[in-house]
Structures are given as structure tokens and as C-alpha cells.
């Protein structure tokens, strides 16, 4: 990263903390002071009207960069379940109203008695540097949906997502392990390569 401040355009504190860890690992501890949680400067809400993760990420990144005049990183991500034809996908965070646990219950209800538990997390990141450039990358993490929630870390569907090569859910794995393999990390690695 060649700038000293970066807005993370999300209202999700779990996602913000995850980004801080991912960026710290990539850019070094010293950059951490330059990471800004968007709600700390405004309660602005950007409507996610895009038809893809990339479109939604770009809408958020550009809106926040224009508002603040600062570089901005936004993401849109979702869980794509094979047996549900890719749902909840783009609507993962708003498939139903309620807490994360309600969404997990919704998912497990749809998969009751279903043997195919294959799924993947998908993320699109958009970095917008005002007056200079906009970059978009995508990343994925394949895995399976567990029969029941396990673990207390993470957020969203983490308690039921078991990444390939592991027997624990994202919510059971230490954050540093999740951040080595996650969809968001894979997208961020591509972004870092594009910046060099």
C-alpha cells in the first residue's frame, strides 16, 4: 500500500476487524493506525443495488471515496451453496431479517436431509483511490456446510462453514488461520499483486 490512510467501507465490525488483520499481515503493523472504520466518520449507507458482488463493492468504495476524499476499500461477499443453486449468494446478509444466528438457522433448515453440502464463500474487493484508479479483485474459499453450528468466533455463516482441508468451522478456527485461507484474503492477495 502506498497511502497512509484507508477507509474500510463496512458497518460490520467483524468484517472490519478481519480486514485490519489481513492488511496488517500484508502491509506491516505500522499501517494499522491508518485504517479507518467507516462508521467512525459517517453513518452514510450505500444501497447495494448491483447485480454482482463486484458491482456492490464498487458502489460502496466509490461513494465513500467521493465522500471522504480518501482511499477506500469495500467488499461484497456471500455464501454460495450448491444444493441451493448458489443461494443465498448476493443476498447472504439480507436473505432474512434478524441476527446472524437466524440466517444460519434459515440455511440449515433449507439443507435438512440434503446430502450435498458443498459451498463456497465468495468475495469481491474494490479499492478506490480518488482521482487515480479503481481496482476490483475476487476471491473464493471452497468448503462444506456443517450439520449444526460450531464455534463462537467469526460472524455470519462462519459457525457452519468448514473450509476444504479442515475439520473445524471458520468459527472454531483461530482468526489467524481463517485469515490465511479466506475468500477475503484470497481477493486481497490479488489486490496486493495488482498494486505492485
Q: Which residues are catalytic?
A: 76
The stretches of the chain forming alpha helices (DSSP H) are 13-27, 53-68, 100-110, 175-181, 183-195
102 CB neighbour count, 10 Å cutoff: 12
CA distances to 68, 122, 193 from 87, rounded to whole Å, are 34, 12, 30
Nearest to 65 by CA among 139, 133, 137: 133
> DSSP string of 56-89?
HHHHHHHHHHHHHSS-EEEEEEEEEEGGGTT-BG
Q: What is the dihedral of CA 179, 80, 104, 160, to 10 degrees?
A: -50
Residues 6 or more apart whose Cβ sits within 8 Å of residue 156: 14, 79, 92, 93, 100, 103
3-state helix, strand, coil in the chain (%, to 5): 40, 25, 35
Amino acid at each position: 500500500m502506498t497511502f497512509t490512510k484507508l477507509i474500510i467501507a463496512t458497518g460490520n465490525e467483524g468484517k472490519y476487524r478481519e480486514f485490519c488483520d489481513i492488511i496488517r499481515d500484508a502491509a506491516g503493523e505500522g499501517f494499522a493506525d491508518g485504517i479507518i472504520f467507516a462508521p467512525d466518520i459517517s453513518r452514510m449507507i450505500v444501497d447495494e443495488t448491483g447485480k454482482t458482488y463486484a458491482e456492490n463493492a464498487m458502489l460502496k468504495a466509490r461513494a465513500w471515496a467521493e465522500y471522504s476524499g480518501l482511499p477506500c476499500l469495500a467488499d461484497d461477499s456471500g455464501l454460495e451453496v450448491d444444493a441451493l443453486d448458489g443461494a443465498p449468494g448476493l443476498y447472504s446478509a439480507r436473505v432474512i431479517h434478524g441476527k446472524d444466528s437466524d440466517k444460519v438457522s434459515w440455511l440449515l433448515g433449507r439443507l435438512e436431509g440434503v446430502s450435498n453440502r458443498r459451498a463456497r464463500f465468495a468475495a469481491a474487493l474494490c479499492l478506490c483511490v480518488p482521482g487515480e484508479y479503481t481496482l476490483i479483485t475476487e476471491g473464493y474459499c471452497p468448503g462444506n456446510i456443517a450439520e449444526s453450528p460450531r464455534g463462537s468466533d467469526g460472524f455470519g455463516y462462519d459457525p457452519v462453514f468448514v473450509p476444504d482441508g479442515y475439520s473445524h468451522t471458520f468459527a472454531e478456527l483461530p482468526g489467524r488461520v481463517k485469515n490465511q485461507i479466506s475468500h477475503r484474503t484470497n481477493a486481497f492477495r490479488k489486490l496486493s499483486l495488482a498494486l505492485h
